[in-house]
Amino acid sequence: MQAFPRILGRHYLAIFVLASATLSYQILITRFFSVMLYYHFAFAAISLAMLGLTRGAMAVYDDPVRYAPERVGAEFARHASWFAITGAGAMLAFLCMPLVVPENYVLTALAIATIGFVRPFTESGVCITLLLTRLPYGGGWLYAADLAGAALGCLGIIFVLLVIDPVSATLGIGALVAGAGWTVVRGSGNARSLRLSGRRCTDAGRRNRRSCRSLCFRERPSRRVLGQGRAAA
């Protein structure tokens, strides 16, 4: 593998998608926390995101051999795939937790939730740091794509939640990030990372479609009953 001699269009697309997905996922966590925990725990999502992104950046700088410029594509794809896996896994595990936890286990449950939700942001921090520090300088345009993606993620998730539920949105975010990893590693010669990214993107997309389809099927009977009630009235 050779280092990229210049920043390619797929790098701008990848960091745009990743930043948008990261901010969207952070906002989704605030929604989960505000419903299943006390409302003030929603602000903990900001701390979890900052902690995870910082851990990811430190991992890149602590291991310059593994995260060398010639391995940007492979490592980005690998960590983007893990973002998709851990993001959906943490969300599903959190939703399966009981709403009422014994007082002796509250701190333990919060610690497990913290570790689970920090991991996706750590993977995102590795990916963003790789693109910003291991590629040739592009005059700030790469960072501009990062900021634009983050802004779109903050605004776009509001309209996305008007159409689909938060669980489907989380799976869709994972599919987008895995697809971005596949785009970056494509053509780099690393078949393993290419297959991993493609598989994670396909799996997340299939589960997202299944979740949206089941949601539509659940809504139709309620509308039919509502119409019958109006007709009877």
Q: What is the pLDDT of residue 27?
A: 92
At which residue do the structure tokens 């309209």 appear? Answer: 159
Contacts of 126 (CB under 8 A, 6+ apart): 56, 57, 59, 60, 67, 75, 79
At which residue do the structure tokens 């910082």 appear? Answer: 54
Q: Is 1 within a domain?
A: no
Q: Is 2 within a domain?
A: no
Q: Is 62 within a domain?
A: yes
Work out the angle between the directed axes of helices 72-95 and 166-185 (0-180°, nearest 10). Answer: 170
Q: Which helix (H) or strand (E) holds 204?
A: helix 191-232
Q: Give the chain's domain count.
A: 1
Q: Which domain does 81 fall in, by range?
A: 9-232
CA 220 to chain centre: 30
What is the rounded distance in angstroms from the CA atom of residue 106 to the CA atom of residue 41?
A: 13
| CB 181, CB 192: distance < 8 Å | no
pTM for the full predicted model: 0.76
Flag residues of the chain having pLDDT under 50. Answer: 191, 193-194, 197-198, 201, 204-205, 208-209, 211-233
> In this structure, what are the phi and psi dihedrals at residue 87, rounded to the nearest 5 degrees?
-65, -50
Q: Is 58 within a domain?
A: yes
Residue type, 3: A
Alpha helices in 134-190 (DSSP H): 141-160, 166-185
Q: Is 52 within a domain?
A: yes
CATH number at residue 91: 1.20.1250
